């Protein structure tokens, strides 16, 4: 027997003691404190230590004998950003591959970019640092035990539903069949269903990690819902980790609030209160519908005009006076009737011309996408208080990707104190759009086009309300509050 083979056997014998001790393996297998990338690091973070310890207890409790199938080890971690989830994934992969001959595993993530550039790249990095690195060959999508490539391996797989069959047929009756899901909240339920077929024999394991961006789906049910009793699950607050950027976290809390969905998901590791990735939750909408408020006398009456491009979308003008989002009944014109822009111009001019007490509009904000010609015509008619708003324009707040996202953030905050009518169109519109955070940590609101692709109606009434928050409007003057001349409608006045 050659020297190299002897070394490998000695190492294998030494690693056998870590079969049910992943924490011990991590402390043993990587060069902590030695010159190189781990010189300044003494070992796992506190939450990583606790999870690895629990994983060892789960393995010990099952006492797999190599023949009789054991119950699956099921572990899930919901957390905020930056706590080192991908690193822990890499440690678990190396532990399983190093201590379980002939094991087979599948690793996936919510997107191809996350899988390739984050999850799998981290696995490659830590495997290169591991004491068992010479045992394995790890390319762009597969890690294999050299000399046993056909039976001892793990692969990276995308989680698209059409790729679900890639998760089927994985079995290791005398070893471990295992699955790791990174950013599991966005993985389709179909993938989990297929993976369950690989947890029927041997010593199976499944691990779910992620930010809880949804409050439906498998990941939500596992950590917070109906399936949590079957899993070893936990939520990790980013503030408890030594690895996170505490200054950035404090900025998020200051900007969004401790109880905001943004902080719940990105910091506290808790599911959002809104459904799916819904930006405005239905509870907030229902409370605003039930609330009765009185506007101040000098609150300006503001109009928001969401102009349709035709088809099923509506042209909607909504009115807000301070906290009263029902200061005047909305005006709704079907999309097909608004193809003639003269109809919309006439209606907008009528609204702006009305000087009756309680009806005089201080400013009308108009969506520029289809409303730019309308604003131009209104200006020629002398209505300088008609203002064009570009939904895709620059936000006044760097935390929002564009003007529309910022206006909707104002609506969301306002709904905590304001009042709206019980219109189903408005309620469904407010609850419709989803959201995500882009790479610049800016909130991006789901567009109408994206909503229509997934079968959600265009939020025309909600966008009209959001337009009333487009810019500050000065309080009305005493002359407007106490007019000296009563309004006398003309014979052809549409609003009488």
How is 114-172 classified by DSSP, letter by letter?
Answer: IIIIIIHHHHHHHHHHSTTGGGEEE-SSEEEETT-TTTSEEEE----GGGGGGGSS---
Please state the pTM of the whole predicted model.
0.60
Please give the full DSSP string across 266-283, using - where no structure is assigned: III----SSSTTBSS-HH
Question: What's the rounded Cα separation, in Å, for the pair 423 and 479?
Answer: 33
Q: Could you identify the residue written with the tokens 């819902």? A: 225
Residue in the block written with tokens 């599911």: 271
CA 10, 12, 18 angle in degrees (round to 5)? 120
User: Which CATH number is associated with domain 282-481?
Assistant: 3.30.420.240
Residues of the chain with CATH 3.40.50.300: 3-246
Q: Strand 142-145 to strand 136-138: parallel, antiparallel, or no bridges (unpaired)?
A: antiparallel
So what's the pLDDT on residue 485?
A: 39
User: How far apart (Å, rounded) are the C-alpha atoms in residues 403 and 445?
Assistant: 10
**What is the DSSP code (8-state) at residue 382?**
T
CATH architecture of 3-246: 3-Layer(aba) Sandwich (3.40)
Tokens of 97: 């591959």
Tokens of 370: 């289809």
Residue 1, pLDDT score: 41
Locate CATH 3.30.420.240 in the chain: 282-481
Number of H helices, E strands in the chain: 18, 15
DSSP-assigned beta bridge partners for residue 434: 278
Mean pLDDT, consecutive 10-residue stretches, the chain (496 aa), reads: 55 94 98 95 96 98 96 97 95 98 95 91 97 95 95 94 86 95 90 92 97 83 86 95 93 85 88 72 85 93 92 90 96 82 94 93 95 95 97 96 97 96 87 88 89 75 97 79 40 36
């Amino acid at each position: 027997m050659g020297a190299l083979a002897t070394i490998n056997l000695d190492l294998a014998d030494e690693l056998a003691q870590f079969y049910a001790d992943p924490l011990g393996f991590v402390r043993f297998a990587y060069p902590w404190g030695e010159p190189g990338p781990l010189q300044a690091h003494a070992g796992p973070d506190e939450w990583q230590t606790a999870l690895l310890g629990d994983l060892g207890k789960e393995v010990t409790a099952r006492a797999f004998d190599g023949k009789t199938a054991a119950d699956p080890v099921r572990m899930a971690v919901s957390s905020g950003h930056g706590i080192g989830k991908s690193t822990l994934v890499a440690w678990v992969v190396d532990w399983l591959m190093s201590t379980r001959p002939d094991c087979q595993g599948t690793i996936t993530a919510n997107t191809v970019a996350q899988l390739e550039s984050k999850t799998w790249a981290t696995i490659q990095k830590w495997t290169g640092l591991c004491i068992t690195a010479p045992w394995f060959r790890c390319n762009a999508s597969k890690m294999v035990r050299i000399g046993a490539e056909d039976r001892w391996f793990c692969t990276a797989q995308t989680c698209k539903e059409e790729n679900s069959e890639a998760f089927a047929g994985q079995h290791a009756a005398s070893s471990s069949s295992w699955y790791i899901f990174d950013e599991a909240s966005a993985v389709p339920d179909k993938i989990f269903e297929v993976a369950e077929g690989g947890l029927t024999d041997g010593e199976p394991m499944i691990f779910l990690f992620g930010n809880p961006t949804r409050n439906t789906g498998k990941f939500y049910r596992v950590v917070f819902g109906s399936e949590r009793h079957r899993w070893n699950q936990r939520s990790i607050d980013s503030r408890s980790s030594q690895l996170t950027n505490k200054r950035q976290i404090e900025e998020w809390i200051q900007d969004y609030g401790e109880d905001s969905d943004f902080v719940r998901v990105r910091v506290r590791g808790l599911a959002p209160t809104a459904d799916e990735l819904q930006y405005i939750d239905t509870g907030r909408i229902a409370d605003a519908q039930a609330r009765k408020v009185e506007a101040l006398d000098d609150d300006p009456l503001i109009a928001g005009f969401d102009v349709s491009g035709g088809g099923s979308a509506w042209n909607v003008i909504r009115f807000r006076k301070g906290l009263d989002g029902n200061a005047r009944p909305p005006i709704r014109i079907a999309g097909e009737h608004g193809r003639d822009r003269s109809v919309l111009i006439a209606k907008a001019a009528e609204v702006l011309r009305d000087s009756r007490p309680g009806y005089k509009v201080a400013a009308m904000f108009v969506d520029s996408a289809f409303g730019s010609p309308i604003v131009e015509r209104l200006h020629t008619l002398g209505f300088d208080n008609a203002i064009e708003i570009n939904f895709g324009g620059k936000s006044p707040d760097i935390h929002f990707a564009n003007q529309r996202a910022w206006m909707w953030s104002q609506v969301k905050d306002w709904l905590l104190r304001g009042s709206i009518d019980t219109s189903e169109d408005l309620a469904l519109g407010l609850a419709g759009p989803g959201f995500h955070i882009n790479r610049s940590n800016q909130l991006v609101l789901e567009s109408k086009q994206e909503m229509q692709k997934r079968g959600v109606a265009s939020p025309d009434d909600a966008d009209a309300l959001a337009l009333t928050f487009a810019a500050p409007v000065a309080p009305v003057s005493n002359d407007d509050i106490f007019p000296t001349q009563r309004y006398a409608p003309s014979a052809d006045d549409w609003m009488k």
